[in-house]
Amino acid sequence: MKVAWRLTVPAVLVAVVLVACANGGEEAETTEASGGTTEAQTVDAATKAEYIAQGDAICADLQTDAADLRRQAQELQAQSEELPEAEFLERAASFWGDQVRLTKSFRDQLAQLDPPPGDEEHAGQLVESIDDGLAIAREIEATLEGGNDIAASTVEEYGEAVDRGNTLAQAYGFEVCGRTG
């Protein structure tokens, strides 16, 4: 029965949006020393604008891969009625494996950034929301690899984790990360 997979495609597309939407982001500023302009100087703690620019740059770098995933999801959905169920579930599991790898790459890169002083809790919440989504995505992948359909409640839970991450990113001020359109 492929009904559950039909429900997962919109959630997959929402998840991909977390790491790639509109182009954007700011360039890091260079600082001027008393002796003249120097190369970009390392500051002990990044400002909020620098942190956002760095995160948005990560999202922008992943846009091509995210667009490929969206295309794959749409193609797989279009083939859902034509493929034998076992083959469909195998391809769906492979797709979710790719989704997990892309999201994990995004999560790891974002977690390496140093948030501005006082914003560590917000940055931690954003990474936690990505971790929550990853755990659910891995569960979906394993379920499909086992030849089973995905429960609609699992898809809803995944979508909620993604929405939470997008909301946190938007509320913080990211211009690329977390945009849903």
Whether the predicted pLDDT of 145 surpasses 70: yes
Looking up tokens 């086992």 gives 146
Under DSSP, is residue 82 helix (H, G, I), strand (E, B) or coil?
Answer: coil
Q: Are 40 and 158 in contact (CB under 8 A)?
A: no
Number of domain units in the chain = 1
Q: What is the pLDDT of residues 30-85, one digit of tens each?
A: 333 334 433 333 444 469 999 999 999 999 998 888 889 889 988 888 888 888 98
39 found inside a domain? no
Full-model pTM: 0.75
Tell me if 28 is assigned to some domain: no
Question: What are the pLDDT digits (tens) for 100-122?
Answer: 999 999 999 999 999 999 999 99
Residue 37's DSSP bridge partners are 32
Domain with 123 in it: 3-22+46-172
